[in-house]
Amino acid sequence: MASKTIKDIARAANVSYSTVSRALNRKEGVGAATRERIFVIAKEFGYTPNAIAQGLVTQRTKTIGLVLPDVTNPFFPEVAAGVELAADELGLSVFLCNTNWDKEKEERYLRLLAQRRVDGIIVSLIADEPEELVRDAVGDTPVVYVNHAPLRTERPFVAIDEDRGSYMATRHLIDQGYDTVGFIGAEAGGITSIPRLHGYRRAIEDAGIQYDERYVGLPRAGESSGSDIIMRMISEGCCPRALFAQNDVTAFSVMQGAQACGLRVPEDLAVIGFDDIPTAGFEAVGLSTIRQPKRELGRLSVELLRRQIESSLPEEGDSNQILLEPELVIRRTSGAARPQEPRR
């Protein structure tokens, strides 16, 4: 029952097993006849090369790991698709790991991939892990950060300018005429909440508006979504006229909560998100947002990883740390304020 090996084939073909190896790998120096015979037997035996054994000797697994926090947020699958595509072109397969916003799981997966001796790892960290932690988990395995870069890392990364994007989003809301513009953090936004909140605050203060904590809704214990937060804000009587949500999924949730409380979007509450996940563009939704070049993020991270694998040098330096530009996408949910119609 155990699958056939190269030796079984060798025996059946009456050659040494090194000849079989050569034939199967299409290497020079095998007689056409023998080669033919070997292929026939291999097919007949249903031979499947043992990649484990191959990897052991070649020290190359032709596999890369992709560690993502949440495949359930459509943003990540889009990035994954970009990675897949690019990896495919290089003949690499992708081992996708979902950490589910669990720090321990993240570490476990990084370690695991290193143990499996993948050729490299692309990871979207869930928090600002100290570099040594990552290093400890992956050892010498090449790593590229995607979607976010830990502070002062020397590793290659591809991300977008979160601060800038958040500034643009907030600014847009202000320009639309809203006097009170709030921020809502994601339940599991991990690392991105810091720069996004920061960009929000910058825009607020640049506009000469007083930064007001009451309009900043960060998830508290027991709150699991943007909907919970907006409902809290409403019940506390400090719901702003416009909101910048940390990401589109949160924005959706916020809108759901607001609508459940009888608020209309954007008439009573304007909303803008971040990411531009596919559903944001749906007619029925029309969520204004900051677009991230998701597939591109994926593609580029593979490219950076390839460089690192091939050179096998630590390969530091600017050109390997890419910051992409965000893009403002205006849709329905951030329609202009109507000052003639004061709230309530």
- State how far the Cα of 309 lies from the Cα of 185, in Å rounded to an integer: 36
Return the structure tokens found at 200.
């929000």
Examine residue 81 and tell whether it contacts a copy of itself (CB under 8 A): yes
Q: In this structure, what are the phi and psi dihedrals at residue 133, rounded to the nearest 5 degrees?
A: -60, -45
Examine residue 140 and tell whether it contacts DNA (CB under 7 A): no
- Among the residues of the chain, which ranges form H helices? 6-13, 17-24, 32-45, 51-58, 75-89, 103-115, 131-138, 162-175, 193-206, 226-235, 248-260, 294-311
Instruction: Output the smallest distance, CB 1 to DNA, in A.
Output: 11
The only residue of 39, 49, 116, 164 in contact with DNA, by rule CB under 7 A: 49
Report which DSSP code applies to 94. Answer: E
Of 15-34, binders to DNA (CB under 7 A) are 15-19, 21-22, 24-25, 28-31, 33-34
Given DNA, a copy of itself, none, residue 90, with its beta carbon under 5 to 8 Å by kind, binds: none
- Distances in Å between the Cα of 343 and the Cα atoms of 211, 234, 241, 264, 340 are 21, 13, 9, 12, 9
Examine residue 221 and tell whether it contacts DNA (CB under 7 A): no
Buried b (16+ CB within 10 A) or exposed e, 87-97: beeeebebbbb
Instruction: Output the smallest distance, CB 121 to DNA, in A.
Output: 19
Q: Are strands 181-184 and 157-160 parallel, antiparallel or unpaired?
A: unpaired
Examine residue 311 and tell whether it contacts DNA (CB under 7 A): no
Given a copy of itself, DNA, none, residue 330, with its beta carbon under 5 to 8 Å by kind, binds: none
Instruction: Output the smallest distance, CB 38 to DNA, in A.
Output: 9
Of the ranges 1-9, 61-69, 159-167, 227-235, which one interacts with DNA (CB under 7 A)?
Answer: 1-9
Examine residue 237 and tell whether it contacts a copy of itself (CB under 8 A): no
Examine residue 36 and tell whether it contacts DNA (CB under 7 A): no
Examine residue 45 and tell whether it contacts DNA (CB under 7 A): no
In this structure, the chain runs to a length of 344
Burial of residue 42 (CB within 10 Å: 0-12, 13-18, 19+) is buried
Examine residue 252 and tell whether it contacts a copy of itself (CB under 8 A): yes
SS3 326: coil
Instruction: Output the smallest distance, CB 328 to DNA, in A.
Output: 51
CA 34-35-39 angle, to 5 degrees, is 115
For binding to a copy of itself (CB under 8 A), which residues are involved?
1-3, 46, 48-53, 55-56, 59, 61, 63, 71-72, 74, 77-78, 80-81, 84, 88, 93-98, 100, 105, 109, 111-112, 114-117, 136, 139-140, 252-253, 255-257, 259-260, 265, 278-279, 282-285, 312
